Structure 1
Amino acid sequence: MAHLDPLPADAEPELEEEFELFEEVLGFVPNSLLTMQRKPAIVAGFHALTEAVMEEADEVDDEIVELLAAISLYGFLNRWNDTLATDLEDGPRQTGERVLGEEWDPGKHVED
């Protein structure tokens, strides 16, 4: 069970553009972002960082930086979601169950 419930996607109108992008790319707005929106600047900063990290690199050094940045970006989300026990969205949960099978346990990230 999440320590903080996600807010509705329309709770902060200034984040509409950011949330539309995540909806377009992922097919949903992650609960982590819906929780972060309590401080809209964090979502805006995370969005800017995500765009910068995912910008295509064309040289080896740039690719190394891109790879490290991607690992760090998702490391941030890992820590955020673990600390707040963010509920796993339906799509990712179904993928985990399908790919990883019965041995997979989403633990605290699924409300019983």
Structure 2
Amino acid sequence: MALVKPLAANADKKVAQLAEFFNETLGFCPNSVLTMQRRPAIAQAFINLNKAVMDNQGRVTSELKRLIGYVSSHAAGCQYCQAHTIRAAQRYGGSDARLEAVWEFCSSPLYTDAERAALEFAIAASSIPNAVDDEIASNLHKHWDDGEIVEILGVTALFGYLNRWNDSMATTLEDRAAADGDRYLARQGWSRGKHV
């Protein structure tokens, strides 16, 4: 059961307007945002940060950003965010084959060397203690410029916040996200966990 129950989607007009962004990414406003709106300034700041971080500026595609969020959330153990990010990756063009092979990214021909470097970095940056070392950083710089690295780490850091929020709140997972978790992630051991 959720630590704090979410409010109705229309509880705060400004939050509701900003939250329309999630209709594109997920197809619904997430319960995490509906809970944050108990303090509207927090919800508004989070939505604006999310929009800035997830904005596609070029080579770090919308799909890749969601896969970075997924591997970051997996490293942190957040089932809620894993389901959301795999759903969003699919909505942004991720093929079934790529989504099902996400944990074979190191060897799968479905992933480029640049994507491998980004995903390896995201996992290392999400680990506790932090596992980013000179080799990972050097490999990242082979494929991405400084602005792109800021985007990649921005996604990882954003999901660090969300992973702690949703796991501590035991945010109830929405049915559509749960269905995508079951579809793409269950074979790797994913379950709703406490997010019921």
Fold conserved between structures, TM > 0.5: yes
**Cross-structure match for 1:33:** 33
Structure 1: segments with no counterpart, 5+ residues: none
Deviations along 1:32-88, whole A, 9 cap, x unmatched?
000000011111111221122123157710000110010000111010000110011
Long gaps (5+) in structure 2 = 60-143
Aligned position for 2:180? 95
Q: Distance in 1 between matches of 2:185 and 2:50?
A: 27
Aligned runs of 1:1-112 on 2, under 5 Å? Answer: 1-55=1-55, 56=57, 60-101=145-186, 103-110=189-196
Render the CA deviation track for 1:9-44: whole Å, top value 9, x for unaligned. 001112121121212331010000000000111111
**Aligned counterparts of 1:51 and 1:19: Cα–Cα separation in 2:** 10
Q: Name the % identity.
A: 50
Give me the CA root mean square deviation: 1.7
Q: Distance in 1 between matches of 2:21 and 2:191?
A: 29
SS across alignment from 2:182: helix
The structure, 1 or 2, with the larger RCO (C-alpha pairs under 8 Å, 6+ apart) is 1
Q: Tell me the distance in 2 between the aligned counterparts of 1:49 and 1:12.
A: 18
Instruction: Give TM-score scaled by structure 1 length.
Output: 0.88
Moved more, 55-64 or 41-50: 55-64
TM-score, normalising length from structure 2? 0.52
